[in-house]
Chain A
Amino acid sequence: MPKSRSRSDTAFRIGTGAFGFLLIALVAGIGIVLAIESMASIQKFGLNFWRTEIWDPVAGEFGALPFIWGTLYSSVLALLIATPIALGIAIFISELCPAALRQPLVFVTELLAAIPSIVYGLWGIFVMVPAVRVLETSLPDAMRKLPLFSGPPLGLGMLSAALILAIMVIPFISSISREVLKSVPPAQREGAYALGATRFEAIRAAVFYARTGIIGAVMLGFGRALGETMAVTMVIGNNPKVALSLFAPQYTMAAVVANEFAEAADKLYLSALVEIGLVLFIITLIINSFSRLLIWSMARTETVTAEPIDAEAAA
């Protein structure tokens, strides 16, 4: 090989690699920049920042517990609603539905993922929240005494936030679960059918086989829900109070940054908000990495076990 050619190839590798490195640098850069900017708040409040409940920027009191609570609570509730529905959709599309229906259904669920967050929020404020308010007021008094349903039925609050988040993460969880189910070797289902399994039992075998990947898909949905900003900001009520009640207006980490950052005047206030962003970044980073690892390990075991079966079929 002529020398100039190998030199050109090295230059190509380094040149394109530099752009790849840029991506790594960006991720690291986000973490570093946010960490530097939140130093003032970290040094002033330490861990108490995440343990105290009073958020009063005017008085200089910054406790972020209500935000982390609101973020986790709304996301967990959303997943409780979204997971069974999303898995049902994934199973219906990949295992049950007629082939002609598959592409249109995939397209429609992807459309649900493509609608901008602000449109969900707009619809949430003017259509869903009034409907939730009606639902809340129609709850029998006996149930209203439970702490889960205490407080005035405003419509704006945790329940609305959880519902809108659930609608928004369903397409994510279902599309990844569908991919994961697709990678289950057909022999898993065929084996079950051969043993006389019903449809449900055969699918259960496939789902059990794909469980790691499906857990990964659900966690990826969790990561999405944690960081979702606009729609939640518009329907959760934006009240920094830790509450168990589904009716109570609450607040999330993303929402407080979205609402208050542009108006935050003094340095400590800005720093406190950046610290909230930093923690949100770290939490989503951990959850996303872990779920990718699960999905990836699933894809890998699949190729390992599937190959001998395919080879036999080919022979």
Chain B
Amino acid sequence: MMTPTGRRKLLSSLFVAFCAGAVLLALIPLALILFFVVSRGILSLNLAFFTHMPTPVGEAGGGMANSIVGTLMLSGLAALMAVPIGVISGIYMSEYAGSRFAAAVRFAADTLNGVPSIVIGLFAYVVAVLPFQQFSAFAGGFALGLMMIPIIARTTEELLLLVPGTMREGALALGATRARAVFSVVLPAALPGIVTGAVLALARIAGETAPLLFTAFNNRFFSTSLRQPISSLTVQVYTYATGPYEDWHRQAWAGALVLVSIVLICSLLARLATRRLERMHARG
């Protein structure tokens, strides 16, 4: 027979084991995904993948040069739109943190962040495709930009709030206007962190597929025109993955490897950067 205390201790140990097991359980799919993406992707990943166009069906080889350029362009467009809007609304939220309107903006940012990506795609279609009767790189960049705005805004806000209030007060006491204090003192202090956040947001946006399906659409040909449909790594991987050909599947895995590498490299860089920032703050 077990004593009540014994039973409680056993239950406690079982619980600890369950929690550790949960961690291991979550690591399994991560390890499996990384394993398959790397081992299968590496087979088709070569220089030609980055420099060549897709070959016609049935012909082996070829690459995804047009999709890679497309993803770069779409992410660039998104950043061009989202960074100014995100940073300035972030400044507003942190400078007037206590006000009701700032709370409303914060709520809107969180809401926008939670809007399903496919719904963002629908909205961008109605606003940026329908009036011109034309799928375009511009519409795709607009859709991705919409997704990027709330991430940039919230990151900027959080990082600005971390800047010691004494720095702002110092600038104001020297007679600086609010704008001067923010743009010359507070914002530069938070800039490394904001750049890190923007890089992470960019990595996330580059991996989006759903908002591009009916905005940027896809393009078999090399295009850098903003007014034409454009290919992207994600949409191309989707096309290849759901297609019937062995060769397409190989290309899809290679595309996935590139996508995962982008994410991995950005996260690692961001982590190193945050570490350095933390150390600087600790010292300073």
Give A contacts to B, CB under 8 Å. Answer: 5, 8-9, 11-13, 15-17, 19-24, 26-27, 29-30, 33-34, 37, 84-89, 91-93, 96, 105, 107-112, 114-123, 125-127, 167, 170-171, 174, 198-201, 203, 220, 223-224, 226-230, 234, 254, 257-258, 261-262, 273-274, 277, 280-281, 284-285, 288-289, 292
Contact = CB atoms under 8 A, between A and B. Distances in A.
18 contacts: A16-B92, A21-B105, A23-B89, A27-B111, A29-B123, A30-B123, A37-B126, A91-B19, A112-B30, A116-B234, A118-B207, A123-B33, A203-B15, A229-B209, A234-B241, A261-B214, A273-B122, A292-B107
Interface string B257-269: 0011001100100
- Most A C-beta atoms less than 10 A away, residue of B19, B21, B118, B242: B118
Contacts of B91: 16
A200 B207 contact: no
B65 to A, nearest CB: 19
B260 A119 contact: yes
Contacts of A116: 207-209, 234, 259-260, 263
B101 A20 contact: yes
B80 interface: no
Given A105-B23, A199-B12, 20 more contacts: A12-B177, A19-B89, A20-B102, A20-B105, A23-B105, A23-B150, A34-B122, A96-B20, A114-B203, A121-B241, A171-B26, A174-B26, A198-B12, A199-B16, A228-B116, A229-B117, A229-B210, A254-B116, A281-B116, A288-B114
Interface of B: 8-9, 11-12, 14-16, 18-23, 25-27, 29-30, 32-33, 36-37, 85, 88-89, 91-93, 95-96, 101-102, 104-105, 107-112, 114-123, 125-127, 146, 149-150, 153, 175, 177-179, 182, 203-204, 207-210, 213-214, 217, 234, 237-238, 241-242, 249, 252-253, 256, 259-260, 263-264, 267, 271
Contact of A117 (B11, B12, B27, B209): B209
Residue among B16, B105, B119, B241 with the highest chain A CB neighbour number at 10 A: B119
Given A13-B178, A107-B271, A292-B110, A23 B126 contact: no
Nearest to A24: B108
The DSSP consensus for interface residues of chain B is helix
Given A16-B95, A284-B114, A108 B27 contact: yes
B11 A200 contact: yes
B234 A30 contact: no
Contacts of A201: 8, 12
Contacts of A125: 241-242
Given A13-B178, A16-B95, A258 B19 contact: no
B88 A19 contact: yes
Contact of B115 (A91, A119, A284): A284
Contact of A88 (B23, B108, B241): B23
Contact of A114 (B96, B121, B238, B263): B263
B210 A258 contact: yes
Nearest to A262: B214
Contacts of B127: 33
Contacts of B204: 114
B38 to A, nearest CB: 12
Contacts, number: 254
Interface centre among A33, A107, A114, A273 (most CB of B within 10 A): A114
A11, A16, A89: most-surrounded residue (chain B CB, <10 A): A16
B116 A227 contact: yes
A25 B269 CA distance: 34
Contacts of A29: 123
Contact of A167 (B29, B95, B175): B29
Nearest to A163: B29
Nearest to A166: B29
Contact of A280 (B23, B96, B119, B178): B119
Given A112-B30, A118-B238, A12 B179 contact: yes
Contacts of A84: 22
A281 B114 CA distance: 9
A212 B8 CA distance: 26
Residue from B102, B123, B146, B182 with most neighbouring chain A CB atoms (10 Å): B123
B168 to A, nearest CB: 13
